[in-house]
Amino acid sequence: MLRQVNKWIMKCEIAVALSIAAVAALIIILQVFARYLFREPFSWPEELAVFLLIWLTFIGASILLKRGEHIKVGLVVDRLPKKARTLLDLVINVSILIALVIGVYEGSKLISSQNISRTVALHIPRGIYFLPVVISFASMILFVIADTIEKLRTFRSNGST
């Protein structure tokens, strides 16, 4: 069940990431045209592009985690016996889970504390810039929990054989 939820969330994340990338590209093109062709640049595209880049970065991190495509050094790990590798994966997952929970907690605090001021061009609360951190980390927490449960089952089944 949790695995299906994670697959659905990742599909949504991919769709959102593609949409964000397209919108960011269009905004940048619009700003270039406004600046060089009409000599009247807008005040908001740079601020919006930064906002979208933050979203893209953290949604991308969530997608990469779920696909197992984050940078890793496999030289030593790949040579470990299967049971030791699974145990190491469990330790890594618990470490990641702790970091993500701290990230959600601290990110939520930042959203609250930064909402007092607004951005210059878009006039949105500055706390919104920390929202993608909280959302993507919460998504990653769901995945890491499901992955940890799966690895625990693998570890137990390998230990009993």
pLDDT digits (tens, 9 = 90+) for 33-79: 999 998 999 999 999 999 999 999 999 999 999 998 887 777 888 88
Helix (H, G, I), strand (E, B) or coil at 18: helix
- The pLDDT of residue 159 is 57
DSSP characters over 114-151: HTTSB-TTT--BGGGGGHHHHHHHHHHHHHHHHHHHHH
Mean pLDDT value of segment 157-161: 62
Nearest to 65 by CA among 138, 15, 130: 138
Residues 6+ apart with CB under 8 A from 120: 43, 47
Count: domains in the chain = 1
- Expressed as residue numbers, the domain containing 69 is 2-160
Q: Tens digit of pLDDT for each residue in 60-72?
A: 999 999 998 887 7
Residues 6+ apart with CB under 8 A from 5: 142
Q: Tens digit of pLDDT for each residue in 80-129?
A: 898 898 999 999 999 999 999 999 999 999 999 999 999 999 999 999 99
- The pLDDT of residue 45 is 94
Mean pLDDT score across all residues of the chain? 92
pLDDT at 161 over 60: no
